[in-house]
Amino acid sequence: MVFWILGGGKFGSIAARRLRKREPDAHITLVDSDPEVFRESKEQVDTVAEDGIAFLEHHLDGKSRPDWIVSTIPVHVAFEWIRGTLSDHEVLPLPVPENLFLLLPNPMWGKNGELYVSQADFICPDNCPEPFDRCFVTGKPRKTEIYRNLEQLKLPEYRSIVIRSHQLAPGVGGYSPSALLSARKEIAEKEGRVLVGTACRCQGVVHACEIRKKV
């Protein structure tokens, strides 16, 4: 099993440790723009001193791909990677439609106009194993799944495209390269407005943009 972990700080180190425990023979690469963070890491991993999104842009389309990509950096990596690699298109950021604030649970605006949503109205523990049918903290049944909420959004003029994040270890989520590549292909097939989301069962983030072919 091959993992790329984007972000080598506290949460990147936690992800590496938990993935190593679950997959002792895994090949893990830890990516961070600051090589100093690797000095404190005690995990047996390969390290790359490069910005995480730039690393994806340089390597994801190659033949050597990981099984899973884990992002622990505080940006919407999938959206930024799509923006940076749709070479034949312009990706024009738009404000996320305000009515999503009323349609999705526990919404919160991000500093770059993105919308964060969560099943929880509290800070989730960093070791949540994401039980299939109920909240790890409260024990209550989960009434919905955030990735499905985003997939099923019906807004005039918008398509909603979602990259699903899967639970790989307690508190560690990731998505496959094929999910990113498929999302980018789907976005490029048609000009117009798009909601780009990344989500698991319990949390998600959404950006809005307009896709135009370059002349």
Beta bridge partners of 204: 117, 199
- pLDDT surpassing 90 at residue 214: no
- Locus of tokens 């005039």: 156
Task: For residues 161-173, give the mean pLDDT.
Answer: 96
Which two tokens mark 36?
């100093």
Decide if 144 contacts 204 (C-beta within 8 A): no
pLDDT averaged over every residue in the chain:
93
Residue 109: how many CB atoms within 10 A of its CB?
Answer: 13
**Please, what is the end-to-end C-alpha distance for the chain in angstroms?**
42
Residue 178: pLDDT band with limits 50, 70, 90: very high
Mean pLDDT for 66-74 is: 96
211 or 41, which is more confident? 211
Percent of the chain scored above 90 by pLDDT? 81
Q: How far apart are CA 5 and CA 167, in angstroms?
A: 14
78-129 pLDDT, tens per residue? 999 999 999 899 999 999 999 999 899 999 999 888 999 999 999 999 899 8
Domains of the chain by start residue, with CATH: 1-74 (3.40.50.720), 75-215 (no CATH)
Q: Give the per-residue pLDDT at 37.
A: 84
Local structure of residue 7 (DSSP, 8 states): -
Q: 203-213 and 192-199: which strand pairing?
A: antiparallel
Paired tokens of 114: 């993105």
